[in-house]
Structure 1
């Protein structure tokens, strides 16, 4: 590397299977971390320590804005251009409380260099200095509503954070963090508080970037099978060498540790229907130290699982047994300070003393009596397993974030990547009292702690909205006519900026691949159906035969076996489906004949790396309308423990005790809490799935067992649990016998052939223990009579979806539809719903099953968004693309046909293809259809898209006031919070 970089350390790190080198750039002192390995997925990242001084969200807004054009890449949004046109396997940016990072990855080296260069130019030379409109769009701006003449705020980050501040769990998390670190760098919201964001000026926004986005404050990362010297020289010659070293003041300010525990009371907003008993939160938080201490960093995460999150965690068990809350979970920080919090959700603030006493007495018991050794072994095994798996499909990005846990704070990044020796050392200390002493010092005797009590406040956000409206109206009244005209002019200029198409010259600045760089085939994933001596079972005296399928997906998995066992559930009646769904939430978390549920959880994680069971459905690609229904039991295990795992799973499926009323109610309350959290955090996905349930048999089935259908059923069941218990118990006992049946069984194995062969007898024993009774066919298809619904919450934003089955309009899926989805999502919908409308995101999916499903995310609008969907056909009719533009859109869809997958995900995909009769040849055909897409073909879809939108299948999850104002759009309005 000549004198461009100084090598600080070099070491092979087993946990990341890489030769790791730590450098400092000689001229600028930029920090550089390199992980060289044989991974075809190549990654780059650059990050900066970004410490805000207030809650204006400046770090977050800068993150959005730097990707909106740069010196070399002069389109309006190079980030979206890359999304639509590159073969990226990861492309994003993230703002944390003390850092902002810009990671990318691609399997194609040319594409990798394109992505890296766009990101480097973006962070160092953004166009936001010349284009104030970028700040106005991404941050905030004034708007005067054309219909009401009201003055209001709009902006992408502003609306995103309105959504964040609508979620009680996010609010509680902020209350904990800001009070634990008051008057410090962590006592403010780097994402932005919507009430404070509009105080950020354009000048302060630019100053923040000017000060902190400098190589001397940067953390550069490279990963994969790359010529690292070439990549490092490229970064130096094109970017770092253009700067001089500077002393950047990005110091993190920490508050003094508390001398005595602090107690804080606060509120979150709720509508009238969301008020009531058991709606409060109680939390107990500690700061354990700093993430620069390798042991403390590991132990903080370890204790969160050991004491709080696992099914046998002593604090969780004690609080649930006392009926103190409906759900208990841990929260941890991602900052220099190591925060650990216990959150009790759906409780009563009046129980604060009892909550505190139970937590502390449980800790005292743990210290005096000692931790359960099996719990310690099981928890250490979870962590060892996670490191052996290597972070999954996005491991390259996870390693970067993990390294920053020590690197950002001046310590060696390698420390945060290594864990094996520490886990080995901690295993040797299980009988030494080390863990108990650590808990005593870091938790029980730690005065740097906080208790918070947060309860709902009726219409708090509505009142705040009204106050804001009043404030804005008063401000508007204070303005001269000239000042009002200036706002309108700036608003029009912003819209013009947003809707002006990039010039051909600007478009040419965006680097791209050629179609010749793309393989016409998809990656072959080997799959083999294994013939075994237990694959045939006799049904009756007439010698009818049922087949058990055993599928091998041979992959290198680092000595881990991934197993999916599919139990046929097609014989269940429609009235059994919801209890069947709830049964799958219980199995593995309740006692069996041999184990209490606490011991079972320990046994599962001593033996395996994970165990789940879920209702699953597959549609048949070759036979329209054919639906296959299964209970999908999945587990992962070290190869040498596969036999033990199958014995334990046999105990679980055969001998689970479904008569423990209290434990079952505990688990159902937790499941309800989890769904409620998912609705607010993943509302766009739930909205699209709900739309699909209106017109699709599979959609209706999935909604019944996994969607809002199960949520409403569960809420009603829990409201009347004592009266319904006996019937529910009888039902789930009966369903368990029906489900764990050997007929039509499929075993999908991903791992080594040798391991499977060595365990065929173990699989045979497992199968032979299953129920052999034959059941008549149950449900064949499901249909919904509903066409459009509005689900009301106290949120300040909406999730809006429309959709339909294009095959019902005569259009079967073709690969070119994926290209169309790319164009509509990254151009038309992005420009109109996100850039112009201020939503955090929007898009449309065309599925292989011929669905069209639109969605918006954290969207301030409703009616306007629907109008945008309804005008997609007009956009298509007027669509005009050059050959180059079309080529880029085509390239941007290629990963959808041949995605980046972990070994276990390859096995999962093979299973879907096997059951759905979707061959690799068919997928290659779709890919070729996409590669050969023409403009005329895309335009020809306009009439069908119009017909689909005219069907008006609509689902909106959002604010009560907005949905009721637009009640004419819905067949039914339903209050979502129960």
Structure 2
């Protein structure tokens, strides 16, 4: 036993398959949580209770800045150095409303200790005290635009939060939180309000770090098959022992619970095209208690799913049936206070009283008549399934966050990790009135509640932006020549700091691995084709904790096509895509849709159906198109699951006009949300549609083409209903057939063999009719700008390198690592102020650049266009090249959950990519030379000259640069 720590609690916990020990560091009172198990992925985390007093984003900015150099690691950005050179399986930092955490993980023990040491040195001894430029880059600074000579703000966090504040759903969430908890620690934005971030001074920023980043205020975490005694000694000897215990004032201030329900109205910004009827939000929110209560912590999340998020959730169904909103979803807090909100999206604030009355009358009905027992069982099964799965690929990090749900507030971290006993106890109460009484107390009779009404305000953000410009210009006018020169000098010093390469001495401070640590082959994932007479059955034998993961691929290459009379008519393909969203959510002959959702989750842990495509590695013009049905189920319920799925795909009823419209409105809402949250991914996929058959197909069935079709369909739903319904029925009858059927099974071979007869029965019920396929083509566009009311952009360029004579090889992954973590990061993120940037070089020979929450447009395009110059002048030492190579290794041999291993095997099988080929790519990467990398410069230049460009962003900046685009399209419909 390490005498530097006091053991507080010890317990084996099935849910995390770990021996859990809770310690206190004797000298500093640092809190330590240890999860010992046989997982090869080793994790470390350190977190601090960080309680902001205002919305300047100080906690968020400190999070960014501590990772920009430290006492021992003196490069400009050790975080990026590790991203590009370590074998990390997770490396990030996160700011919550009351905590900041720094988790890392790696399968390599030496790499793990390297990562842990860099993070510990970063949080306790950051260089930001000596280098103000770190604060200016990551937080905010003044800048004078070279072209316009306007004074403006820039900074990574500043621009990141401008993007966050462009998202109406985030604005609604903030309005709820800040008004439920006004005058408390949760009444301010720890991420930062862009209007307040520039009021944060460098001195106050440093004071926040001094106060909160101390071992006495820390929560340290270790996980995996580590020698924990060794790891604990290392942390003590190298860090904790250097500090004395301090009393840290990180108290969370809570406001008094409301004596009476409150009502708040507010607005979000919208452009002229985004205005219109039913663009409002209505919310009903409750504060249900504290995370320190184990039952309340579980029940808040349980009620979120039970009452709001599931397909058969009674509050959601009541709102949709009353046509009160187009979409309904739950919001929950991640803090000491347990907030639960039901959000009605795309509604009318004039109906707020009706909304309130409907919520309360539905709750009263639930309490008086009782909750559907099948709904209770299905919801509890979802939670039991989630805990049995163990958090997936990143479970080590998920466990840390779960533990903090109780640990940060003075309770045992074990309370946040255990759930089995709670679920078992709640299962035993299904036939009692426990749930009804709980809902009555915590929701219906809870005065600590809030109604909010939020509606669009025309050009609100533009007025605020104009007001800010005016304020800054007035400020600039008030400055003396010397003061302006000082701003310019500080700006130039920052650019020099950003663009000055780290010295060899500084680079040598970053720990690294040797190539000898790298296995030249990739991890074998066993796959076996099971002999049978009904389908192609692939077995991926994995330990899955008695869970079966099944993917059924229905070949749609011939059954769904484009109208041959017009290459612009995608209607059947898009109706097919919409059909996949309907199956499992509409009634069947045996079950109405409310009961069906309960049946699905009583039997299974999940069910999805989506259009998907694969390209053949040997001939990428050969596209395999499938309807991908995926489900997961406990082994003993596999027969029941197959019978239920047979009912769903054979007997779904596609004639309920109102229900189908409800589902499609939610689908449209989900796409709109993803545009602002994942705009870089959508921009990348859109660029790929300009030159790739697969890219165009994916755009039609999953991308912006589908969104525009769906918006138009819903606008004219009554007129188009009859033909749409007939199309859905026709497509359903065609796609679920047994021709070229593939069944991919991940789990126990014994379970599969025991259930093959049920798979045979399932396939036997399918149609065996054959259909002729249609033609396909590329997008006719080359460059598009999609306008929103956002204050930031997502910018992507790309092309097919094989058209320019370069097929993928492993060295291109090394090139992508260098360009992303060095050139693009330095110029677009560090210097340009975007939240992120990178480039993908794929097995299909795509080159696809992207930026995320980017304040720029033309400057970012210029950076892409000049990648080749950076490459021409590339000068790497052997050590630097080795580190970049090591940083790519996870791309060839990623850490995967058992289910993900089965998915990867299926992709490789259909795409004709063998493990030998992946090993060949890995060895090509291992043998990359600087000369080889530099030889790609001309083709990089040529690829950007293709000018395949997609930008999603602010209307004003896109229109100012209209000459860049073939067409400009308003995104919101």
Deviation string, structure 1 residues 168-210 (Cα, Å, up to 9, x no partner): 0000000000000000000000000000000000000000000
Shift of 1:774: 1.4
Give secondary structure in 1 for the equivalent of 2:620: coil
Aligned partners of 1:624, 1:587: CA distance in 2, in Å?
Answer: 30
- Identify the residue that residue 816 of structure 1 maps to in structure 2: 811
1:841 aligned to which of 827, 836, 858 = 836
1:851-930 superposed matches below 5 A: 851-930=846-925
Contact 2:45/2:400 (<8 A) preserved: yes
Contact 2:2/2:233 (<8 A) preserved: no
Aligned partners of 2:817, 2:70: CA distance in 1, in Å?
Answer: 23
Aligned partners of 1:289, 1:384: CA distance in 2, in Å?
Answer: 23
Shift of 1:92: 0.1
1:944-963 superposed matches below 5 A: 944-963=939-958
Query: Aligned pair 1:215/2:202, yes or no?
Result: no
Query: Aligned pair 1:478/2:478, yes or no?
Result: yes
- Identify the residue that residue 565 of structure 2 maps to in structure 1: none
- Identify the residue that residue 345 of structure 2 maps to in structure 1: 345
- Identify the residue that residue 667 of structure 1 maps to in structure 2: 663
Aligned partners of 1:146, 1:765: CA distance in 2, in Å?
Answer: 71
1:123-134 superposed matches below 5 A: 123-134=123-134
1:573 aligned to which of 545, 553, 561 = 561
Give secondary structure in 2 for the equivalent of 1:626: strand
- Identify the residue that residue 201 of structure 1 maps to in structure 2: 201
Deviation string, structure 1 residues 518-577 (Cα, Å, up to 9, x no partner): 00000000000001132xxxxxxxxxxxxx210000000000000000000001111410
Query: Aligned pair 1:634/2:630, yes or no?
Result: yes
Aligned partners of 2:745, 2:532: CA distance in 1, in Å?
Answer: 14
- Identify the residue that residue 796 of structure 1 maps to in structure 2: 791
- Identify the residue that residue 657 of structure 1 maps to in structure 2: 653
Aligned partners of 2:617, 2:18: CA distance in 1, in Å?
Answer: 41
- Identify the residue that residue 567 of structure 2 maps to in structure 1: none
Contact 2:273/2:972 (<8 A) preserved: yes
Aligned partners of 2:14, 2:777: CA distance in 1, in Å?
Answer: 51
Contact 2:36/2:225 (<8 A) preserved: yes
Contact 1:72/1:509 (<8 A) preserved: yes
Give secondary structure in 1 for the equivalent of 2:771: coil
Give secondary structure in 2 for the equivalent of 1:624: strand
Deviation string, structure 1 residues 434-482 (Cα, Å, up to 9, x no partner): 0000000000000000000000000000000000000001100110000
Query: Aligned pair 1:141/2:141, yes or no?
Result: yes
Aligned partners of 2:429, 2:383: CA distance in 1, in Å?
Answer: 16
Aligned partners of 1:502, 1:475: CA distance in 2, in Å?
Answer: 36
Contact 2:2/2:229 (<8 A) preserved: no
Shift of 1:624: 3.2
Aligned partners of 2:783, 2:345: CA distance in 1, in Å?
Answer: 32
Contact 1:837/1:860 (<8 A) preserved: yes
Give secondary structure in 2 for the equivalent of 1:40: coil
- Identify the residue that residue 620 of structure 2 maps to in structure 1: 624
Shift of 1:783: 1.1
**TM-score of the superposed pair, with normalisation by structure 2:** 0.99
Query: Aligned pair 1:93/2:93, yes or no?
Result: yes
- Identify the residue that residue 254 of structure 1 maps to in structure 2: 254
Deviation string, structure 1 residues 296-347 (Cα, Å, up to 9, x no partner): 0000000000000000000000000000000000010000000000000000
Aligned partners of 2:3, 2:918: CA distance in 1, in Å?
Answer: 49
Number of aligned residues = 964
Contact 2:283/2:453 (<8 A) preserved: yes
Name stretches of at least 5 consecutive residues in structure 1 with no aligned partner: 535-547
Aligned partners of 2:393, 2:823: CA distance in 1, in Å?
Answer: 30
Deviation string, structure 1 residues 872-924 (Cα, Å, up to 9, x no partner): 00000000000000000000000000000000000000000000000000000
Give secondary structure in 1 for the equivalent of 2:187: coil
- Identify the residue that residue 523 of structure 2 maps to in structure 1: 523
Shift of 1:976: 0.2
1:36-75 superposed matches below 5 A: 36-75=36-75
Query: Aligned pair 1:643/2:639, yes or no?
Result: yes
- Identify the residue that residue 770 of structure 1 maps to in structure 2: 766
1:367-406 superposed matches below 5 A: 367-406=367-406
Shift of 1:777: 2.6
Name stretches of at least 5 consecutive residues in structure 2 with no aligned partner: 563-569
Contact 2:288/2:296 (<8 A) preserved: yes
Contact 1:698/1:782 (<8 A) preserved: no
Aligned partners of 1:383, 1:624: CA distance in 2, in Å?
Answer: 41
Give secondary structure in 1 for the equivalent of 2:453: strand
Shift of 1:772: 1.3
Query: Aligned pair 1:828/2:828, yes or no?
Result: no
Shift of 1:778: 2.8
- Identify the residue that residue 541 of structure 1 maps to in structure 2: none
- Identify the residue that residue 542 of structure 2 maps to in structure 1: 555
- Identify the residue that residue 538 of structure 1 maps to in structure 2: none
Aligned partners of 2:257, 2:665: CA distance in 1, in Å?
Answer: 36
Aligned partners of 1:807, 1:3: CA distance in 2, in Å?
Answer: 62
1:727-746 superposed matches below 5 A: 727-746=723-742
Aligned partners of 1:777, 1:833: CA distance in 2, in Å?
Answer: 44
Aligned partners of 2:34, 2:900: CA distance in 1, in Å?
Answer: 27
- Identify the residue that residue 319 of structure 1 maps to in structure 2: 319
- Identify the residue that residue 931 of structure 1 maps to in structure 2: 926
- Identify the residue that residue 971 of structure 1 maps to in structure 2: 966
Which region of structure 1 is more displaced relative to structure 2, 596-605 or 618-627? 618-627
Aligned partners of 1:140, 1:492: CA distance in 2, in Å?
Answer: 15
Deviation string, structure 1 residues 556-609 (Cα, Å, up to 9, x no partner): 000000000000000111141000000000000000000000000000000000
Give secondary structure in 2 for the equivalent of 1:552: strand
Aligned partners of 1:2, 1:748: CA distance in 2, in Å?
Answer: 48
Aligned partners of 1:624, 1:883: CA distance in 2, in Å?
Answer: 35
**TM-score of the superposed pair, with normalisation by structure 1:** 0.98
Query: Aligned pair 1:717/2:713, yes or no?
Result: yes
Shift of 1:957: 0.1
Shift of 1:782: 2.5
1:108-187 superposed matches below 5 A: 108-187=108-187
Deviation string, structure 1 residues 701-731 (Cα, Å, up to 9, x no partner): 0000000010000000000000000010000
Computed over aligned residues only, the root mean square deviation of the Cα atoms, in angstroms, reads 0.5
Contact 1:581/1:706 (<8 A) preserved: yes
Shift of 1:754: 0.5
Contact 1:47/1:101 (<8 A) preserved: yes
- Identify the residue that residue 269 of structure 2 maps to in structure 1: 269
Shift of 1:2: 3.7
1:460-609 superposed matches below 5 A: 460-534=460-534, 548-571=535-558, 572-574=560-562, 575=570, 576-609=572-605
Contact 1:612/1:633 (<8 A) preserved: yes
Give secondary structure in 2 for the equivalent of 1:736: helix
- Identify the residue that residue 459 of structure 1 maps to in structure 2: 459
Aligned partners of 2:309, 2:939: CA distance in 1, in Å?
Answer: 49
Deviation string, structure 1 residues 501-523 (Cα, Å, up to 9, x no partner): 00000000000000001000000
Give secondary structure in 2 for the equivalent of 1:562: strand
Contact 2:686/2:695 (<8 A) preserved: yes
- Identify the residue that residue 701 of structure 2 maps to in structure 1: 705
